[in-house]
Amino acid sequence: MTGDWCWMGFRRVVSRPPDTVPSPAANAGGGGRDPGAVASRLLRAAVFMHAVAMFAIVFSSRQTQFGNVLFLKGFIDLEDPYAAAVLAEKIAVSLYLLAGLVALFRPYWPLLLLMAAYALTEAVSGTYNAGYRFSEWTIPAHALRYGLPLVLMVLVVGPRIGFFRRWTVPVAAAVLRVLVAVVFATHGYQALMEDPRFIDLIIGTMGNLFDVSVRESGAVAMLKVIAVVDFCVALAVLIYPTPLFVPRRLWASPCRICAIRRVIVPGLMVWLALWGLLTALSRMTAMRPSEALSEYPEVLVRVPHILGPLALWGLFSALYRAGSCRSPAEAANGEPEQAGPAGPEAGLRGGIPQKGGSSSAL
């Protein structure tokens, strides 16, 4: 047993009887006490807020990248291509917002798939337009925006497929951790390459909030540090709590697992969420006070960068509850994890139901 491959708790969840596996079906609907329910609610909120942001962008007389493609390529031969593109944009984002509202309360996988397709179309349009520097990196930079509906779709559809039911949470967590890593690594690369938009954000924020005049050279130096941090956390997401495709015996020990579960993973996820919040708010703080509030759609559109890591933490907690991180010694001796109390801490101290019984933490 100690030599089995550990892939985000895949082995332990798959090896358990169907009636002891945490049910993401209840999570997607908002019920249940499993930590996966918290992840599902965060994902639904992120999807909805992104839809609100796209709606606000279009109805505040701004154009999306998708609208630019419609104007330049789709409706260019019409008598008034701009008006036609704006009308098409308004219809598209209105339907997108309606789908997001439905997903907030009752997620249906066809709507989630359509939402992911629209967000991906927006990213592809940004790459196609190539109207700004690093536009070729728009698709990976927007990975969380079109990826979160897909992760939520896995949580919705997975429990309904018999052979896939036990794999739902591990697969959703694995996909989400890759999406988070891709987004932060992409932003790290843009910072390393001195994206002029990032330079403006640093200079504007430091001047408006702290009344500190930062030269361009100083902003570039700060970007280098930010790039290193982004690369490190992107790599850490792929390593913790369990390295992808690494034999469990090479990394697992009781002390290490305890430190990962109680310190490293919570700290990493909170850092990712806080940094996502700060970078989102910088779209407002970098502007003049009279113009800051008008940039709120740019903050809302980046809510997936904030809630995505927190949802990943919830999925990790669901895996902990499923018994995916016992030490090899405990597994070999058949020792169960200690059952913890229900509530916010249950995700980090949940027990494993034994044959003929059940855990109070599930």
Beta carbons within 8 Å of 320's beta carbon, 6+ residues apart: 9, 35, 241, 261, 347, 348, 350
Q: Decide if 343 is inside a domain.
A: no
Q: Decide if 218 is inside a domain.
A: yes
Q: Decide if 75 is inside a domain.
A: no
> What pLDDT was estimated at residue 26?
46
Per-residue pLDDT reduced to its tens digit, 302-328: 999 999 999 999 999 888 876 654 444
> What pLDDT was estimated at residue 249?
55
Residue type, 349: R
Q: 305 and 278 in contact (C-beta within 8 Å)? A: no
Q: Decide if 104 is inside a domain.
A: no
> What pLDDT was estimated at residue 127?
93
> What pLDDT was estimated at residue 10?
41
SS3 161: coil
> What pLDDT was estimated at residue 77?
84
Best CA proximity match to 327, nearest among 268, 238, 261, 239: 261
Q: Decide if 95 is inside a domain.
A: no
Residue type, 33: R
Q: Decide if 169 is inside a domain.
A: yes
> What pLDDT was estimated at residue 349?
35
Question: CA 217 from chain center: how many Å?
Answer: 32
Beta strands in the chain (DSSP E): 5-6, 246-247
SS3 23: coil
What stretches of 196-245 show up as alpha helix (H) in DSSP? 196-210, 216-239
**Mean pLDDT in each 10-residue stretch from start to end of the chain (362 residues)?**
38 43 46 67 97 96 89 86 93 97 96 97 92 92 98 94 90 96 98 96 95 95 97 92 58 66 88 97 94 94 97 90 53 44 36 36 30
> What pLDDT was estimated at residue 125?
94
Average pLDDT of every residue of the chain: 81
Q: Decide if 297 is inside a domain.
A: yes
Number of domains in the chain: 1
Q: Decide if 100 is inside a domain.
A: no
Q: Which pTM does this prediction carry?
A: 0.81
Q: Which helix (H) or strand (E) holds 65?
A: helix 65-69
> What pLDDT was estimated at residue 182?
98
Which of the 8 DSSP states describes residue 158?
A: G
> What pLDDT was estimated at residue 251?
55
Domain coverage including residue 190: 5-45+140-331
